[in-house]
């Protein structure tokens, strides 16, 4: 067997799991029987397939093995494009990961230890057998990591506020002169999933229509749909109200979005970009369009840290 080192940065989001080069919904289906259709991962006597039904929000992702299984998927996807002969290679994986700034201090050691000390792990993905051993695991604050991927664009500002609109949470963090100020951060349960749930409930009660999240995304993006104008208007009005409330909440918390620079991160921010830009409540802002920015930031910070050891 050949030994090969591999760095795989993983952003374990509530809605999506991201690596440098790929992303997928943070959802799993476990079975004792081999799936008839689709791709699967076989590990410890069980078959796993990815699902569009995400795992319910977990502040502490170490409570069960599901996020470890998602990490195996992520490692396999990254290795497939970088390792020619995975079946005859032991992959020694270094794993940069991250946590919301608000939870970082309380959970980073537990999250790192979740992946460590497991020894060699063998699994099959897409019919190929993988042998991995997770070595170095380092957790970094989310959002700070993403902001570092665009450091040349924000280095002139003494104050930068990152706003990460994710699936279940909205995270903000203040950077002063490029350094994170962890005393000025929070993780609020105001992600786009809360907007989806309100829209779905109201559409059902008022129009007897069952919208799903994909339908809602299409309407928010202004794409053509088969829905009546009344449904389109409902979604647009509720989205505008959600954005206004979100920005109002940040203002009440003492976060000034009109001075310095605001960096918007996450798929939710991209989805709501037009509404945010038209709000009139934000000054200079930058949208990080790469949904994998946190993962890329983890690897960047990890390489810098490793070089300095």
Number of domains in the chain: 2
In terms of domains, do 93 and 159 share one? no
Sign, CA torsion 297/298/299/302: positive
SS (H, E, C) the chain: CEEEEEECCCEECCCEEECCCCEEECCEEEECCCCCCCCCEEECCEEEEECCCCCCCCCCCCCCCHHHHHHHHHHHHHHHCCCCCHHHEEEEEEEEEEECHHHHHHHHHHHHHHHCCCCEEEEEECCEEEEEEEEEEEEEECCHHHHHCCHHHHCCCCEEEEEEECCCCEEEEEEECCEEEEEEEEEECCCHHHHHHHHHHHHHHHHCCCCCHHHHHHHHCCCCCCCCHHHHHHHHHHHHHHHHHHHHHHHHCCCCCCCCEEEEECHHHHHCHHHHHCCCCCCCEEECCCCCHHHHHHHHHHHHHHHCC
Q: Is residue 216 part of a domain?
A: no
Query: Residue 214 falls within a domain, yes or no?
Result: no
Pair (300, 275) in one structural domain? no
For tokens 């960096």, the residue is: 263
Same-domain status, 285 and 300: no
Q: What domain range is 58 assigned to?
A: 2-141+296-307
131 and 164 part of one domain: no
**What per-residue confidence (pLDDT) applies to 234?**
97
Does 44 share its domain with 82?
Answer: yes
Q: Tell me if 204 is assigned to some domain.
A: no
- pLDDT 10s digits, 145-189: 999 999 999 999 999 999 999 888 899 999 999 889 988 999 898
Asked, for residue 206, whether it belongs to a domain, the answer is: no
Among 78-92, 135-149, 200-214, which stretch is predicted with the lowest mean pLDDT? 78-92
On whether both 23 and 41 belong to a single domain, the answer is yes
pLDDT tens track for 3-60: 999 999 999 988 889 999 999 999 999 999 999 888 899 999 999 999 988 888 888 9
The alpha carbon of 3 is separated from its chain's Cα centroid by a whole number of angstroms, namely 30
Do 77 and 162 lie in one domain? The reply is no
**Which CATH number belongs to the domain containing residue 51 in this structure?**
3.30.420.40
Q: Within a domain: residue 202?
A: no
Of the chain, the percentage scoring pLDDT greater than 70 comes to 99
- Pair 73, 16 in one domain: yes
pLDDT score for 309 = 65
Give the pLDDT of residue 307.
83
The mean pLDDT of 233-241, rounded to a whole number, is 97
Q: Whole-model pTM? A: 0.88
């Amino acid at each position: 067997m050949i030994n090969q080192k591999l760095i795989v940065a993983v952003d374990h989001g509530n809605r999506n799991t991201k690596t440098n080069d790929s992303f997928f919904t943070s959802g799993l289906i476990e079975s004792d029987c081999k799936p008839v259709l689709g791709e699967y991962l076989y590990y410890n006597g069980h078959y796993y397939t990815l699902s569009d039904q995400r795992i319910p929000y977990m502040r502490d992702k170490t409570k069960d093995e599901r996020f470890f299984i998602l990490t195996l998927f992520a490692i396999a996807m990254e290795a497939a494009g970088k390792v020619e002969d995975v079946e005859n290679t032991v992959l020694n994986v270094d794993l940069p990961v991250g946590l919301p700034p608000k939870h970082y201090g309380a959970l980073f050691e537990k999250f790192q230890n979740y992946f460590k000390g497991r020894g060699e792990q063998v699994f099959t993905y897409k019919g190929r057998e993988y042998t991995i051993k997770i070595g170095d695991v380092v957790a970094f604050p989310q959002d700070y990591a993403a902001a570092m991927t665009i450091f040349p664009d924000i280095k002139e500002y003494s104050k930068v506020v990152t706003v990460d609109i994710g699936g279940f949470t909205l995270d903000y963090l203040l950077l002063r002169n490029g350094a994170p100020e962890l005393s000025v951060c929070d993780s609020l349960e105001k992600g786009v999933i809360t907007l989806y749930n309100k829209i779905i409930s109201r559409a059902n009660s008022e129009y007897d229509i069952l919208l799903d999240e994909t339908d809602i995304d299409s309407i928010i993006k202004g794409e053509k749909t088969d829905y009546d104008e009344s449904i389109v208007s409902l979604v647009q009005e509720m989205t505008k109200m959600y954005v206004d409330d979100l920005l109002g909440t940040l203002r009440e918390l003492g976060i000034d979005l009109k001075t310095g620079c605001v960096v918007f991160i996450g798929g939710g921010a991209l989805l709501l970009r037009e509404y945010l830009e038209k709000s009139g409540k934000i000054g200079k802002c930058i949208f990080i369009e790469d949904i994998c920015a946190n993962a890329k930031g983890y690897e960047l910070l990890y390489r810098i840290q490793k070089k300095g050891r």
